[in-house]
Amino acid sequence: MDNISVVGDANNLALSQRDAILVGIVDEEGVTLLGCAYCAPNEAELQEVTDVLPAPLVLLGTYARSKEEALQSAAQVLKTGFCSQGCIATYISDEKLQAYRVNPDGTVGPNLNTKRITSFHEWLKRYRILRCELPITLEVVEDGTVPSTVALQLAFGRVLGQLDVPGLRFLTAPGSAGKLGPVLLGPDADILVESLPGSSGSGSSRGDGGDVVCCLPLIDTRQLASPPNGLMFTYRPLAATNGGSGGSAHGRTEALLRLDVLSYVRRNCSLGAAAAALSRGIIRQLHAAQRVLEKLNGQVLPVRAHHFLPPGFSHHLTVLYPTLLDDPERNDDRLVATRQQLHTLMGLPLNRPLLRSANAVDLAAQCEDGAGGGAAARLRDVHAGLAAPGIGGTSVLVQGSYEYCHYMQDRFNDAGWGCAYRSLQTICSWFRLQRYTSKPIPSHRCGERQER
Q: Percent of the chain, pLDDT > 90? A: 38
pLDDT (0 to 100) of residue 44: 94
* Higher per-residue confidence, 296 vs 247: 296
Fold of 3-118: Cytidine Deaminase; domain 2 (3.40.140)
- H helix intervals, 81-187: 120-124, 148-163
SS3 40: coil
- State the span(s) of the chain assigned CATH 3.90.70.130: 375-452
SS3 category, 75: helix
Q: Model confidence at 200, in pLDDT bands (50, 70, 90)?
A: very low
Of residues 248 and 342, the one with the higher pLDDT is 342
Distance CA 167, CA 218 (A): 10
C-alpha to C-alpha distances, 48 to 163, 211, 244, 343, 351, nearest whole angstrom = 23, 27, 39, 12, 21
What does the pLDDT read at residue 174? 73
In whole angstroms, give the CA distance from residue 256 to residue 47: 23
Q: pLDDT band for position 224 (50/70/90)?
A: very low
pLDDT at 327 over 70: yes
CA-angle at 42, arms to 39 and 43, nearest 5°: 110
Question: Is 42's pLDDT higher than 60?
Answer: yes
pLDDT at 152 over 70: yes
Looking at residue 251, what is its pLDDT?
74
Task: Please give the pLDDT value at position 243.
Answer: 41
Instruction: Identify the CATH number of the domain defined by range 375-452.
Output: 3.90.70.130
State the average pLDDT over residues 305-331: 93
Q: Which of 318, 297, 267, 294 is nearest to 51 (CA)?
A: 318
- Cβ neighbors of 209 (< 8 A, separation 6 or more) are 124, 129, 307, 309, 316, 361, 363, 366
Lowest-pLDDT range, 201-205, 247-251, 441-445? 201-205
pLDDT at 376: 43
Is the pLDDT confidence value at 125 over 70?
yes
Checking if the pLDDT of 306 tops 70, the result is yes
Average model confidence (pLDDT) across the chain: 81
Residue pair 55/262 in contact (Cβ under 8 Å)? The answer is: yes
Q: Which of 50-54, 102-106, 420-424 has the highest mean pLDDT?
A: 50-54
Does the structure show a pLDDT above 60 at 232? no
pLDDT of residue 283: 96
The H-or-E segment that residue 294 falls in is helix 271-294
Which residues pair with residue 92 across a beta bridge?
97
Does residue 262 register a pLDDT over 70? yes
Lowest mean pLDDT across 18-22, 164-168, 201-205: 201-205
* Per-residue model confidence as pLDDT tens digits over 59-76: 999 999 999 999 999 999
> pTM for the whole thing?
0.78
- Residue 199 pLDDT > 70: no
For the segment 326-333, the average pLDDT, to the nearest whole number, is: 90
Reported as a single tens digit per residue, the pLDDT across 384-397 is: 877 777 787 777 88
Pairing of strands 96-102, 87-93: antiparallel
Proportion of the chain above pLDDT 70, given as a percent = 81
- In angstroms, rounded to a whole number, what is the distance separating the alpha carbons of residues 83 and 87? 6
Across-strand partners of 254?
139
Checking if the pLDDT of 438 tops 70, the result is: no
